[in-house]
Structure 1
Amino acid sequence: MAIRFANNCSNCVNLVENAFCSKHEVLVSQKYTCDQFDMKAELKNERSCTNCNKHETSSCAHPSKAAPGMLCSSWAPSA
């Protein structure tokens, strides 16, 4: 199975602050894409304890070590 980035707004250079598309001047989400999609040149690894769905819950694998900027193999997206 190949893994690749989706052609959606969250990976597009036209996405600016607050989920705003600078190309179409509308609010968007990661579920959207369009014919003017232009992939961002850089990759970002923004995963950490603070955006993990398990952070500060009973399902956190390392509750005593969890902190902003840290990451473990149990990370789960919060969205």
Structure 2
Amino acid sequence: MELKLAKCCGNCEHFLNGRLCTIKEIAVSQNQVCNSYEFKVIHHREDDCLKCSKFQKSDCAHPKAASEGIMCTVWYPRATAS
């Protein structure tokens, strides 16, 4: 089974203040979904190339610079199951 990030309001760039959609201009909950979904990137200090799903792959934007401790604007979390 492949795990993916949920494409719901809680992970969307348009979700404002934990309750409003800036595209639809209505109150929404974190679990709702629409076609205007746009992934919201949230960087943490412990996130770097080693935790990116694009690390050492053909879609890495900076393959020569990618290494531990480095992160770029196209960083994408690696989906892992515990």
Structure label with greater radius of gyration? 1
Structure in which a larger fraction of residues adopt helix: 1
